[in-house]
Homo-oligomer: A and B are copies of this chain.
Amino acid sequence: MVDSVRLDELNWLEFKSKVAAGAPVFLPLGSTEQHGPHLPLCVDVTLPTGVCERVAREVGGLVAPTIPYGCKSMPRSGGGEHFPGTLSLDAHTFSLVVRDVIRNLGRQGVRRIVVVNGHYENCWPSVEGLDLALRELWRDGIHDMQAMRLEYWDFAQRPTLDKLFPDGFPGIDLEHASLLETSLMLLLRPELVEMDKVPDDGPATFPPYDKFPLPEDFGLPHSGVLAVATGSTAEKGQLLMDDYVPLIAEAIRKEFRLDQ
């Protein structure tokens, strides 16, 4: 028997048995998006998938296939759709994907779902997709579905951020392709990171608004790295992971009453 937390590596009988036992199912939400010259386009797929696999092992869960295309990238949070390699879905499309996967998990008996987002712009359309799914499941007669939805980075603790950013944490908004993501990639897929290509044209200096079309002087670094990636290490990635995994696991145990 295959022993895997990846739902898609099980056969249908194993899936059925795990679901019958109450296993929570994780749905990671990624994107294919520029992450500077030193990181590959798959960062937002790799990171939430990696977090989910670790948490799933903690709580006896399964990880559904990561949605690899995210909702459209904006200049102030991800550089924007004009960057080569950024391949996104319209918000409506993305929400329908989330809706369909969650609805069908529900129809197959899953009652504990954790949506783990790894791409900033997915936050709201994933709320929408989840809401649409729960609405449909209710109408299908499924009234006991439990779901959580989170951005994994929100589980970094203040002391950890203080340690990683001795000069002060610049805020999650600018962390695109920066120290946090680069360190986590060094931990999870080091062969895809090229530290010698880390740029120094940041940090971004955005005005407090969006502009269409994007002006030349909008404050967006040409590299696509919104803050600073220098100093990233796998150790720092591990520090973050050491926050994410136990804290997310704890939240899941609490909300889904897994220990009762």
> Would A85 and B32 be within 8 Å (CB), given that A9-B192, A37-B11, A146-B212 are in contact?
no
Within the complex, which residue of B93, B131, B147, B224 is in contact with A93, where a contact is CB–CB below 8 Å? B93
Establish whether residues B100 and A69, one from each chain, have CB atoms under 8 Å apart when the complex forms. yes
Residue of B nearest to A40 (CB): B9
A54 on interface, CB distance cutoff 8 Å: no
Taken residue by residue from 216 to 256, chain A's Cβ proximity to chain B (1 for < 8 Å, 0 otherwise) reads as 00000000100000000000000000000000000100010
Chief secondary structure at chain A's binding surface: mixed
Give the Cβ gap from A31 to chain B, nearest Cβ, in Å: 10
Residues of B within 8 A of A107 (CB): 81
- A148 and B87 within 8 A (CB): no
Interface residues of A, CB < 8 Å — how many?
Answer: 94
B32 touches A12 (CB 8 A): no
Is A42 at the interface (CB under 8 A from chain B)? yes
| Also in contact, A127 and B210, with CB within 8 A (given A37-B12, A108-B84, A109-B84) | yes
- Say yes or no for A101: interface residue by CB 8 A criterion: yes
Q: Is A194 an interface residue (CB 8 A)?
A: yes
CB–CB B85/A89 < 8 A:
no
A158–B207 alpha-carbon span in the complex (Å): 14
A8 on the B face (CB < 8 A): yes
Cβ A100 vs Cβ B88 within 8 A: yes
Contact of A8 with B40 in the complex, beta carbons under 8 Å = yes
A73 to chain B minimum Cβ distance, whole angstroms, is: 10
Residues 143 to 180 of chain A near chain B (Cβ within 8 Å): 145-151, 154-155
One of B7, B11, B192 near A35 (C-beta < 8 A): B11
Q: Mark A47-76, 1 if CB is under 8 A from B, else 0.
A: 000000000000000001111110110100
Contacts A6-B42, A138-B140 aside, 11 further interface pairs with beta carbons under 8 A come to A8-B42, A11-B194, A12-B86, A15-B85, A81-B107, A86-B104, A90-B96, A130-B210, A148-B210, A148-B212, A150-B208
